[in-house]
Structure 1
Amino acid sequence: MGLKIDIFPCLSDNYGFLVTDEATGITAAIDTPEAARIIARVEERGLPGLDFILNTHWHPDHGGGNAEVQARFGCPIYGAEEVRKRWPLDHVLRDGDVFRLGETKLDVVGLAGHTLGVIGYLDRSGGNAFISDVLFPLGCGRMFEGTPELYWASLLRLAELPGDTTLYCAHEYTLANLKFAESLGVDAALQARGDRIRALRERGDYTVPSTVAEERASNPFLRYPLMEQGFAAQAAKFGELRAAKDVFQG
């Protein structure tokens, strides 16, 4: 028994997630990017309802559907404290907390940098991580509220997970991220991964999830900083790359 993960498109480029503890059937939505789509997915799957909403951060494409989804299913909403400034939230989760989804243990991990209070959910026993907009295939989120040092510390938390950890991020940005990565130089690992990504998208398939090992090998926001010695130099390199990506026109 473990965690059943259902990924589906929402909005223009978001992904929604329904996660079900197979032992008990208890189900949560990770964020609420599009209420109507989430409600429809629960009904399409023939689920008896939705038991929880688990928010990662306050951005509208992550908490904007909270009220409507809760109204439909009556489920409590757990998540980062910052969600409260815009959306309904019943229970606050903080770094170091543990959320029990039936028999599945989800460790709450602070991943500040994209926003100051963003959190992720780690299913360590199943090797799954729900990381919102913190790290994408070949990319990372914009640094809206954090600093390079704060964001880099969060990326290190992900980079240090076991290599076979599956990373579930919340957007299909991979082709754009690939173009930026290629502008920095192409080695064998990036060439092979780029070929796979283009083939997936040509078929209309998702590029999410990826793994920690893949991101360490070819994601420039991990790969190049990790070539530097010491935290300060790594954070500076990360900040340089994030600034370059912000203005990249490729």
Structure 2
Amino acid sequence: MTQMTDSLIVVPMLRDRFPDLLDNYGYLFRAGDRVMCIDAARAAPLHAAAQARGWMITDILLTHHHPDHVDGVADLVALTGAKVWGHSADAHRLPYLDHGISAGQTIDIGGATARVWDVSGHTIGHIAYIFDGIAFTGDSLMAAGCGRLFEGTAEQMHESLSQFADLPDDTLIASGHEYTQTNLAFALSLEPDHPALISRKTEVDALRSEGQPSVPSTLGTERRTNPFLRVHDSALKDATGTTGQSDALTFAAVRRAKDAF
């Protein structure tokens, strides 16, 4: 478990019966007298991390309905009485939903405001929570990658990720999985001589060798090294055989290549 700031904690998800880690992360984010948990694959690690700091989880913010993001919700609600937030359009797939919210809405929790973005692609109804300086992106924009397209299309995901263009470089991208090494390996298969990719791989390998998470990353880092944010780049278009084609078509080509990697 790694403390990133006084208010943001990254919590690895332990398996119930095995000593190894899932590749999921949950986050604890404190604002005023409220403690938010973003996604909940397991209740126990999140509850323990909060208790260790004298915190009580008051709110659970769900990005999407997949079991590895919601399986711990029932137990966490039972332990804490926390209220559950999520996309109202996905209410039939989100457990214990108290606050149904919509894309375009702004929410206030403990004095911290977040814009709610629809980032469909990985699933339909996937949302991201955009606080000042921190974006909780679930399985949409990820460290050096993006989520696999289970329900949406490449065009939808490209449109979803295009929303991040207006955020500053120092925005933390708090995504939901430890996929960074695999994502960088894929990116390097397209551009093996890219200096920023080589440098980031070295940094991430060092973190992981010490058991440290590679997330959150920064949006500036993603802009330099995430192929799904670089589909406008001529080198990446050349690497995917989409020179002269639209960025959306390049995005689709990168996603197909990643799926086959």
Q: Normalising to structure 1: TM-score of the pair?
A: 0.90
Counterparts of 2:162 and 2:124 in 1: how far apart (Å)?
A: 16
2:167 to 161, 167, 176: 161
Task: Say whether 1:37 aligns with 2:40.
Answer: no
Unaligned runs of 5+ in 2: 15-21
Shift of 1:83: 4.7
Contact 2:142 2:175 in 1 (8 A): yes
Shift of 1:241: 1.0
Counterparts of 1:168 and 1:76 in 2: how far apart (Å)?
A: 21
Shift of 1:85: 2.1
Task: Say whether 1:73 aligns with 2:50.
Answer: no
Shift of 1:42: 2.0
Which position in structure 2 is the counterpart of 1:8? 11
Shift of 1:221: 1.3
Shift of 1:102: 1.0
3-state SS in 2 of match to 1:117: coil
Task: Say whether 1:19 aligns with 2:29.
Answer: yes
Counterparts of 1:225 and 1:148 in 2: how far apart (Å)?
A: 15
Contact 2:174 2:216 in 1 (8 A): yes
Which position in structure 2 is the counterpart of 1:243? 256
3-state SS in 2 of match to 1:91: strand
Counterparts of 2:91 and 2:197 in 1: how far apart (Å)?
A: 36
Task: Say whether 1:182 aligns with 2:188.
Answer: yes
2:140 to 131, 134, 140: 134
Query: Number of paired residues?
Result: 240
3-state SS in 1 of match to 2:152: coil
Counterparts of 2:179 and 2:83 in 1: how far apart (Å)?
A: 30
Task: Write out per-residue CA displacement over residues 95-137 of structure 1, whole angstroms, 9 at most, x where no aligned residue.
Answer: 111121111111111111111101111112xx11110111222
Gap change, CA 1:106 and 1:86, over 3 Å in 2: closer
Counterparts of 2:127 and 2:94 in 1: how far apart (Å)?
A: 16
Q: Which amino acid aligns with 2:166?
A: E
Shift of 1:3: 7.8
1:210 to 192, 207, 217: 217
Contact 1:33 1:63 in 2 (8 A): yes
Shift of 1:25: 2.5
Which position in structure 2 is the counterpart of 1:111? 119
1:50 to 51, 57, 77: 57
Counterparts of 2:51 and 2:71 in 1: how far apart (Å)?
A: 20
Counterparts of 1:121 and 1:152 in 2: how far apart (Å)?
A: 18
Shift of 1:14: 0.8
3-state SS in 1 of match to 2:149: coil
Counterparts of 1:197 and 1:61 in 2: how far apart (Å)?
A: 23
Unaligned runs of 5+ in 1: none
Counterparts of 1:88 and 1:132 in 2: how far apart (Å)?
A: 19
3-state SS in 1 of match to 2:97: coil
Counterparts of 1:16 and 1:108 in 2: how far apart (Å)?
A: 18
Contact 2:64 2:94 in 1 (8 A): no
Task: Write out per-residue CA displacement over residues 194-227 of structure 1, whole angstroms, 9 at most, x where no aligned residue.
Answer: 1111111122221101111111111111113454
Contact 1:78 1:93 in 2 (8 A): yes
Shift of 1:53: 0.8
Contact 1:3 1:19 in 2 (8 A): no
Which position in structure 2 is the counterpart of 1:220? 227
Counterparts of 1:237 and 1:112 in 2: how far apart (Å)?
A: 18
3-state SS in 2 of match to 1:224: coil
Q: Which amino acid aligns with 2:11?
A: F
CA RMSD of aligned residues (A): 1.9
Gap change, CA 1:226 and 1:160, over 3 Å in 2: farther
